[in-house]
Amino acid sequence: MKIINISNRLPITLQRKEDELIIRTSSGGLVSAVESLGDKKNELHWVGVADFSRVDWLKGENQYKGDFTLHPIFIDEEKYKLYYNGFSNSVLWPLFHYFPSFVEYKKEYFDAYLEVNEDIAEQIKFLIGPADLVWIHDYQLIPLASYLRKLVPNAKIGFFLHIPFPSYELIRILPKNCRDILVKSLLGADLLGFHTFDYVQHFATTIQMIAGIQHKNFHLQYNGRLIKLGSFPISVDFNKFHQGFDNSEVMSERTKIKNLYEGKKIIFSVDRLDYTKGIIYRLKGYANFLENNSEWKEKVIFILVAVPSRDSIFKYAERKEIIEKLIGEINGKYGNYKWSPIVYQYGSLDFIQLMGLYTSCDAALISPIRDGMNLVAKEYVASRKDKHGVLLLSDMTGAAKELTEALLFNPLDENEISLHLAEALQMDEKEQERRIEIMQNQISKNDVFKWSDNFIQQMKSIKLNSGISKHFDYSDRLSVLEKYQSSKRCLIILDYDGTLMELKSHPDLATPGEEINILLTKLCQKNKNEVVLISGRKKEALESWFGKIPLTLIAEHGIFVRKEEWENIITESTPWKKDVQNIMERFSENCASSFVEEKSSSLSWHYRNADAESGFAQSRELINLLSDYLISTNVNILDGNKVVEVKPVQANKGEALKKMFDFSQYDCCICIGDDKTDEDMFEVVNHNKGITLKVGKGYSIAQYRLDGVSHVISFLNQLT
Ligand code: ADQ
């Protein structure tokens, strides 16, 4: 089996020095995490865009001795700029980090972005075998899964987003065509991973608002496939940073730093120079601290290291200027010729230097305005084998969800930063130890190897063709008929609309004809049969159509049941109904040809006859509004096929069947339905070893699939 890792960058750099080519392997957490997945059974491959020429690669590739088979993708330089600096980093990056005013959308950026993703898919499609796992990383490659899905329909594909997935309100800022393509194309994957549950939740809401797809336990059904959403908080190589404390070079670096700043407390921060990292507010917070705590004059030093990043993009270059000016101002205002309160380095650190700083500082000040996770925070905690030091962490980072023993703060609040700095510098050692220990426990148990292993295990458990019920062919029909004939008691459960009757433009038009009445009557005449008709319809409709046939009737998705007399099996009150009806009526007024259907315990807003686009748009607004309005009520908002339905949670076809029937009394059970709500009864019937049949297309957990209503009728006729 191959694990094919795909990210924007390869895990190497290849540089030409005069006539010589030098390959260096990268040593970040992601690289080691993926490396750790390799063994005799798993071949490791890495696909990424080359930042070197094809000629250099051909000359230099055999110098690479790492664990991956590398597949550089060569892309025209101009197109790459539009894809990378353009759409990826001037649209997606700011938008997903809640900087909408920094977004510079251009159509040519988006076009290039799609083209590069399509190119990558074309170039690697031959690589993917039936047993292989494809793991795509990050926002530069959002559309890749769907391009690959078209080319290799059975590929097992996972996608992990390293940055936040923002609220739908941000996503809707993008032009409609662009946001629809982006979000739907993620559904080409089988597994979608995010750092935190917030991001998972945001994605789930977005996909419902954009594509009308509702999740069930964070599983989505799309194009006949099941897609799983999950939270996989990335982490660091805990042991590398923890054991690094005792590395002799790190020890000597630490001693040097401590000697250099003897008698002073050290505050440290390190990040890429990026506007999302909150460096300006961090500096202002520190200035506020100096202003209000003059006793710390000459007794504290802030070492701020920023690594150059995307500096050809204006917003980044601009930020650098502002930051450097501010540092000058703070040093000028608070410092003197013997002491600069800020020591600034614009450049990279190697591992020894980074560890030297992590392990010699008294506090790490990490203040992103938004950050998907933030690994610096976890590295810092892991490195403190001495259990000293204080972590000050922005509560806008993914890491803040796990590192709750940090001093958490709002990164935009200079005053809070200042107060926390004062607290950190005075914190006694016992308290430091207590906090660090709890956080180290958390990180060591959930290190980056566990992260990658979890993701891959989840991918391995993806069942191909799940949700694709088997076509009910001649031999299946025969074996079901045989089972039916040899049975002593048979429970036959039938949905109505879309199963026994074609869907009509208005519910009132779907009156059953003579043929159905005769068929149902015949089925009931066989003594061994118990025939159940289960529907979302009102009891009055079922009674008027089928009242004379000795069926068990279940109306309103299980609220009312008629064996002999009608009975209300769910007696929950519905105090929300009047208000929901008013809301729905308002939507009907605004959306021509839509209408409200009222049932005893539920309400539906139908937009089947409305203009498709505005009907859908209005339905999103309605769902949004109802979700807020009904937040602590015991109801389900069902995003159905051109209908939004509000019903009590207990009104569920599966639950009704469980309540009404003891399945062990039957040696045969046949259940047929077409709609999302029928999946609840399929679940119960499958569990009780019955036979389930889905009518029409779409995801289903039913065992078999029938093409349409006429096939249902012909099969039922065979039973009689
Ligand atoms: P980044 O935005 O790059 O990552 P982060 O998670 O903090 O942010 O990772 C930065 C890495 O670079 C750390 O390993 C750190 O040690 C290193 N680093 C930073 N400054 C450095 C310097 N001056 N010299 C040397 N090394 C330096 C993106 C997302 C994050 C997410 C990660 C992983 O934005 O939210 O946590 O991916 O998914």
1 CB neighbour count, 10 Å cutoff: 13
Cβ–ligand 1 distance for 305 under 6 Å, the answer yes
Active site residues: 495
380: which 2 tokens? 């810092």
Listed as own residue / partner, the contacts of 254-261 with beta carbons closer than 8 Å and 24 or more positions apart are 254/355, 254/356, 254/359, 254/360, 256/356, 257/356, 257/357, 257/360, 258/360, 261/301
Query: How confident is residue 573, by pLDDT bands cut at 50, 70 and 90?
Result: confident
Cβ–ligand 1 distance for 271 under 6 Å, the answer yes
| pLDDT reading at 464 higher than 70 | no
Residue 280's pLDDT is 97
Q: Read off the pLDDT of residues 582-593 as tens digits, 9 standing for 90 and up.
A: 999 999 998 999
Residues 408 and 422: their CA atoms lie apart, in Å, by 14
Q: Read off the pLDDT of residues 500-511 as tens digits, 9 standing for 90 and up.
A: 998 877 777 778
474 CB neighbour count, 10 Å cutoff: 7
Centre of ligand 1 to C-alpha 451, Å, is: 17
Residue 466's pLDDT is 64
What residue's CA is closest to ligand 1, atom 28? 162
Pocket test for ligand 1, best of 93, 275, 320, 374 (most atoms within 8 A of CB): 374
Centre of ligand 1 to C-alpha 270, Å, is: 9
Q: Which residues pair with 24 in a beta bridge?
A: 13
Residue 38's pLDDT is 84
Centre of ligand 1 to C-alpha 273, Å, is: 10
Centre of ligand 1 to C-alpha 320, Å, is: 18
For residues 294 and 389, the answer to whether their CB atoms sit within 8 Å is no
Q: What is the mean pLDDT of the chain?
A: 94
Pocket test for ligand 1, best of 160, 275, 376, 391 (most atoms within 8 A of CB): 376
Q: Read off the pLDDT of residues 664-688 as tens digits, 9 standing for 90 and up.
A: 999 999 999 998 889 999 999 999 9
Centre of ligand 1 to C-alpha 412, Å, is: 20
In the chain, % of residues over pLDDT 90: 81
Residue 119's pLDDT is 97
Query: How confident is residue 174, by pLDDT bands cut at 50, 70 and 90?
Result: very high
For β-strands 603-606 and 643-648, DSSP reports them as: antiparallel
What residue's CA is closest to ligand 1, atom 18? 271
Cβ–ligand 1 distance for 374 under 6 Å, the answer yes
| C-alpha distance from residue 652 to each of 218, 223, 659, 675 (Å) | 19, 24, 11, 13
Q: Read off the pLDDT of residues 391-450 as tens digits, 9 standing for 90 and up.
A: 999 999 999 999 999 999 999 999 999 999 999 999 999 999 999 999 999 999 999 999
What residue's CA is closest to ligand 1, atom 8? 374
180: which 2 tokens? 């629809």
Q: Read off the pLDDT of residues 86-112 as tens digits, 9 standing for 90 and up.
A: 999 999 999 999 999 999 999 999 999
Pocket test for ligand 1, best of 271, 274, 349, 396 (most atoms within 8 A of CB): 271
Centre of ligand 1 to C-alpha 272, Å, is: 7
Contacts of 530 (CB under 8 A, 6+ apart): 489, 490, 491, 492, 552, 661, 666
The conformation of residue 389, written as its DSSP 8-state character, comes to -
Global pTM?
Answer: 0.86
| C-alpha distance from residue 97 to each of 306, 371, 401, 531, 596 (Å) | 19, 7, 17, 56, 40
Residue 223's pLDDT is 84
Cβ–ligand 1 distance for 376 under 6 Å, the answer yes
Residue 667, sorted as left (phi over 0), alpha (psi -120 to 50) or beta, turns out to be: alpha
- Mean pLDDT computed over 513-542: 94
Query: How confident is residue 639, by pLDDT bands cut at 50, 70 and 90?
Result: confident
Residue 600's pLDDT is 87
3-class SS letters over 184-250: HHHHHCCEEEECCHHHHHHHHHHHHHHHCCCCECCEEEECCEEEEEEECCCCCCHHHHHHHCCCHHH
Contacts of 151 (CB under 8 A, 6+ apart): 121, 122, 125
